[in-house]
Amino acid sequence: MKLIQAKSIVSGYCENNDWFGNNYNMNIYKGCCHGCIYCDSRSDCYQIDNFDEVRAKENALLLIDRDLRSKRTKGVVGTGAMSDPYNPFEKEYELTRGALGLINKYGFGISIATKSDLVTRDIDLLKKISRHSPVLIKITITTCDDKLSRKIEVDAPVSSRRFEAVKKLSDNGIFTGVLMMPILPFVEDNEENLKGIINKAHENGAKFIYPAFGVTLRQNQREWYFNKIDKIFPNIKEKYIKAFGNSYECASLNAKLLKSVTQVECDKLGIYYKMEDIIKEYKQRYSDKQLLLF
């Protein structure tokens, strides 16, 4: 794995971030080798050359240590927005694990998005962080069918392994749920798939499900996606072109039905699905713990 230079890794403070209440952003790795056919981070605007090649930021833990020490305001550090913090190289290099140790040391919270069950390796550190700060784990699952997940998320752990990770984390008291996005139009946007994910998530202890019924396509990412999906599902590309043209947001034609199904099923099972409820609940759990300690 190559190393690239960086001046800092943890971003500046954001007080009212409506994306899971993250106050800071942290990306230790650049690029991803999970091979998901729909990844938005492949877009030109992010300026990541050779996206499938994972690179780590040089002296990452020293930079994160310095960044966290310099912060005047504590908060939740989000990671996983641009590249998966639990790519296969993390098993050897343990940079994400090292960062969690520093986040715990300096009294910050953590919000992780990943497609890898490797996150369960760090349950010990996540539990330590949860004693003083909010902890939120988001496992991306777009299908409950392992065969389909192998086709569209080629080198990521299959969906069943991710559901198992949700269970391990939840069983250890970590506030964990499912990022049900993107739900690909004409491929995954059906009631059967949706109910399958929701029921599996519930069986494995997920506290929340946050959905997006569609996919975003722009620049070279669109070309990549069309090339891949045309090989996997012949004639689907033509449906995209007819339905969405060159639109950036390609919302499922079944979005209204899928939203209704999600609300009904999640309400029935006691699963949060509104962003404001998810943020309130996982941060409230931290506040309640603090009151108990006091």
pLDDT exceeds 70 at position 73? yes
Residue 181 CA to residue 158 CA, distance in Å, equals 15
pLDDT at 294: 41
> What whole-number percentage of the chain has pLDDT above 70?
97
pLDDT exceeds 70 at position 270? yes
> What is the helix (H) or strand (E) element at residue 232, kind and residue range?
helix 219-232
pLDDT at 290: 55
Classified as helix, coil or strand, 56 is strand
> What whole-number percentage of the chain has pLDDT above 90?
89
Render pLDDT for 144-170 as a digit per residue (tens, 0 to 9): 999 999 999 999 999 999 999 999 999
Handedness of CA 207, 42, 195, 273 (dihedral sign): positive
Render pLDDT for 226-237 as a digit per residue (tens, 0 to 9): 999 999 999 999
Query: Which domains occur in the chain, in start order?
Result: 2-293 (3.80.30.30)
pLDDT exceeds 50 at position 291? no
pLDDT at 45: 75
Cβ pair 219, 293 in contact under 8 A = no
pLDDT at 289: 57
Instruction: Kindly give, in sequence order, each residue whose CB lies less than 8 Å from that of residue 39, ignoring residues fewer than 6 positions away.
Output: 32, 51, 221
Residue 107 CA to residue 127 CA, distance in Å, equals 13
Mean pLDDT across 209-220: 94
Residue 272 pairs in a beta bridge with 208
> What is the helix (H) or strand (E) element at residue 15, kind and residue range?
none
Give the count of beta carbons closer than 10 Å to the beta carbon of residue 172. Answer: 15
Closest CA to 111 of 96, 98, 124, 121: 96
Instruction: Kindly give, in sequence order, each residue whose CB lies less than 8 Å from that of residue 176, ignoring residues fewer than 6 positions away.
Output: 136, 137, 138, 139, 166, 169, 170, 205, 206, 207
Distances (CA, A) of 178 to 57, 89, 227: 28, 23, 28
Cβ pair 221, 215 in contact under 8 A = no
Confidence of residue 41 (pLDDT cuts 50, 70, 90): confident
